[in-house]
Structure 1
Amino acid sequence: MPHNSVSPLYATAELQAHEHRTKHAFVDAASSAQNAAEIALKAGDSDSWWNMTFVQAENLLDAEDFDECADLAASLVNGPRATTERHAQARTFILLAKARQGAGLLEQAADAARMAAGLLEGDPDVETNVKARQALIAALADSGRLEEAWAESLMLADVISAEVDDQLLGKGYWVIGNVAFLCNKVQEGLHYHELAAATFSPARNLDIWAKFNKASAAMRLAADVADADTLRCIERAELATDVIGGTANDYLLMRLNRGHWNFLAGDPKAAIELLEGVCADADKPLPQILGEACLLLGRSHAAMGNRSSAREHLLKSADHFEMAGAQQRADQAREFPTAVS
């Protein structure tokens, strides 16, 4: 079935998927995309089926349904109707990497991102190349493989250029800055995050603006940078998310940032009140988030002189990091109890 003669049912479902996505109704967008894909499959239009299944997977990722997204993405590159087109394969491996990272499967995320980067080696498509390297760096950094992540970051810095869209350029600087912070290269981290901030605009994309400020605050706090700029990042993220809404993990991360800010500001009691809520959240946060929250909660209890509670939460933190595949962070968490015993 040629694309220019698609059925009205398919066209309606496709339009609904895009409209829902524009409104950030990602679950509804995924459902409409699935409907469109099924209509295309019944009509024998495999190209439209593939495209709409990819759209379905994208929306599942944004809805934080990581397992379902990963299953769909894997089927698009390995299933019976998998594409052989290199760029489509690379885009799907990037999606798979993000889903695996979201699910806390960091080694698998890095493997998928490497597949994407390998498919694009020597390719003039700068934009997709940048996205592949971003996914790889994020997975390596989360799993504690910081030397590899920094080497990839330097390669990414060489790849990004004025040819890249401002939003993508900003995301490139953002991920490089993240790795710099994790490698204790604080000045480089601040530099790259300042470059990223200059490319983002709340008027153009308030969602990206909110996510960047939330993430930048987290990185600054992890580097013990508790200055006025860090507080502004926290407040911008909170205000923007109040306007556009956010996922459960968005709100948890903002509470984590506030708790971290209170801890560094010398108010461990206020930090404990916030962080206990994150650790006990009924929505079951990702293991990376739980690891960070329990680590901070343990440190806050230690600052209050509650040694037994401190050790308990620090050991829980190590378990969560191990579950996520972040062995280096797990080792760091296990070092703290010896300091408070």
Structure 2
Amino acid sequence: MPMNSASPLYATAELQAHEHRTNHAFVDAANSAHDAAQIARSEGDVDAWRNMTFLQGENLLDAEDFEACAALASSLVSGPGSTAEPQAQAEAYILLAKARQGAGLLERAADAARAAVALVAGEHDIETNVKARQALIAALADSGGLEEAWAESLALAEAIESEVDDQLVGKGYWVIGNVAFLCNKVQEGLHYHELAAATLSPARNLDIWAKFNKASAAMRLAADVADADTLRCIERAELATDIIGGSSNDHLLMRLNRGHWNYLAGDQKAAIELLEGVCADADKPLPQILAEACLLLGRAHSAMGNHDAAREHLRKAADHFEAAGAQQRADQTREHLAAEA
């Protein structure tokens, strides 16, 4: 979004926000963007207010303050400047969808993403169209709406057919592969993730490269694919995150992946040690990460014959999945729990 205000005070706050974001200081970046937005509001520049409020929301999202991010995104959807062009409105809905997903409000996340898709469905802005579809697919997949998620994935594949931006195409392949894995279309999942790995560039965006490899490893492991390519995904993610840093949930997800790898490799003791660390502080992990960790922890204890501990963690996992709106995963977890009875 272009920055329109020529006010020196605004320009200084805007510059600070971008500098903090470049340095991954997301809380500081959000604070500076808030300052710039307030200056723009006092000067009557609605476009600049909207731009800086959006930037503030992006930084709150990256800082994993999902509740505050959702509140800001809602203000962009319905507050001053809410009559903005479809692209800007769609971007606000995408931000709202991501914040709600992070907070575990999966059905409401899907609703926001659907609104974004509707706004740009007939537009020529392919990038916003793809981002909106990605947000919808992610929310649907997390909530267990896999049939609709796969239909949207096929629409996304068609949308990126003629796109030339490698990063955008790679992100599209990434999300399509995710859904294929969740639909038990393992070979298609591997195919699309291999296309994503070949298309995304670590030199262009190491942060995206790290996130992709973390996510791809998680999907492969969930499909019981514990091969050399999966291990490479885990190692790439760990190396990239060591270089750029990462959020607490980034590091928890990597530990979850390592724990899952150990579980599939038969090293249950190492798996339990890692997974107990992920579950230790229920206030930190995203609901989905916490649920997956408890599920794996229950299965690892079961493999070691610790059936009381297995039942305890499987019950917790089912509750966490249900609280996050992932009913299908909750039902699958209860199947494991029934086997422990």
Residues in 2 aligned to 1:133 and 1:308: alpha-carbon distance in whole angstroms: 43
Q: Which moved more, 1:320-329 or 1:35-44?
A: 35-44
CA distance in 1 between counterparts of 2:131 and 2:326 reads 22
Residues 217, 234 of structure 2: 8 Å contact kept: yes
| SS of aligned partner of 1:40 | helix
Question: Which position in structure 2 is the counterpart of 1:260?
Answer: 260
Report the equivalent of 2:188: 188
Q: Quote the offset at 1:125 in angstroms.
A: 1.5
Q: C-alpha separation between the residues in 2 aligned to 1:135 and 1:314? A: 29
What is the deviation of 1:283? 4.5
Q: CA distance change for structure 1 residues 315 and 148 in 2, over 3 Å: closer, same or farther?
A: same
In structure 2, what is the Cα distance between the partners aligned to 1:80 and 1:5?
Answer: 17
Distance across 2 between alignment mates of 1:80 and 1:170:
35
The equivalent of 1:214 in structure 2 is 214
Question: 2 CA distance for matches of 1:120 and 1:303?
Answer: 49
| Alpha-carbon distance in structure 2 between the residues aligned to 1:186 and 1:108 | 28
Q: What is the aligned partner in structure 1 of residue 50 from structure 2?
A: 50
The answer for unaligned runs of 5 or more in structure 2 is none
Q: Hey, what does 1:35 align to over in structure 2? A: 35
Verify: 1:170 aligned to 2:170, yes or no: yes
CA distance in 1 between partners of 2:167 and 2:321 (Å): 31
Question: 1:126 Cα shift?
Answer: 1.1
**Aligned equivalents of 2:34, 2:120: Cα separation in 1:** 28
Name the aligned partner's letter for residue 94 of structure 1: I
Partner of 1:77: 77
TM-score by length of 2: 0.97
For residue 21 of structure 2, what is the aligned residue in structure 1?
21
Q: Say if 1:127 and 1:164, in contact at 8 Å, map to a contact too.
A: no
Change (3 A) 1:282 1:334: closer
Distance in 2 (CA, whole Å) between partners of 1:51 and 1:249 is: 27
Answer whether contact 1:113 1:133 (CA < 8 A) is retained: yes
The normalised TM-score by structure 1 is: 0.97
Conservation of the 8 A alpha-carbon contact between 1:220 and 1:230: yes
Cα distance in 2, alignment partners of residues 80 and 155 from structure 1: 33
Correspondence 1:93-108 to 2 at 5 A: 93-108=93-108
Do the aligned partners of 1:110 and 1:136 also contact (CA within 8 Å) in 2? yes
1:84 offset after TM fit, Å? 3.3
Q: Cα distance, 1:168 vs. partner? A: 1.3
CA RMSD of aligned residues (A): 1.2
> 1:134 aligns to what?
134
Aligned match of 1:149: 149
Number of the residue aligned with 2:201: 201
Q: Partner amino acid for 1:27?
A: V
Q: Is the 8 A contact 1:126 1:164 kept in 2?
A: no
Q: Residue 4 of structure 1: CA displacement? A: 6.2
Matched letter for residue 298 of structure 1: G
CA drift at 1:80: 4.1
Tell me by how many angstroms 1:161 deviates. Answer: 2.8
**CA distance in 1 between partners of 2:24 and 2:5 (Å):** 29
- Give identity over the alignment, percent: 81
Structure 1, residues 223-248: CA drift from partner, whole Å, max 9, x if none?
00000010011011111111111000
Amino acid at match of 1:45: D
Can you list the C-alpha shifts for 1:66-89, whole angstroms capped at 9, x where unaligned? Answer: 110110000111124423321111
Which residue pairs with 1:301 in the alignment?
A: 301
- Which amino acid in 2 is paired with 1:132? A
Instruction: Provide the secondary structure at the position in 2 that maps to 1:123.
Output: coil
Equivalent residue letter for 1:49 = W
Deviations 1:260-293 (A, max 9, x none): 0000001111100100111112642111111100
Q: Which moved more, 1:169-178 or 1:71-80?
A: 71-80
C-alpha displacement of 1:164: 4.5
User: For 1:98-138, what per-residue CA distance to the aligned partner results, in whole angstroms no more than 9, with x for missing partners?
Assistant: 11001100000000000000111222211111110000000
Task: Indicate conservation of the 8 Å contact 1:248/1:283, yes or no.
Answer: no
* 8 Å CA contact retained: 2:181, 2:220: yes
Task: Report the Cα offset of residue 181 of structure 1.
Answer: 0.3
Match of 1:278 in 2: 278
Which amino acid letter does the alignment assign opposite residue 225 of structure 1?
V
Q: Is contact 2:107–2:325 with CA below 8 Å preserved after alignment? A: yes
Q: Which is worse superposed, 24-33 or 315-324?
A: 24-33
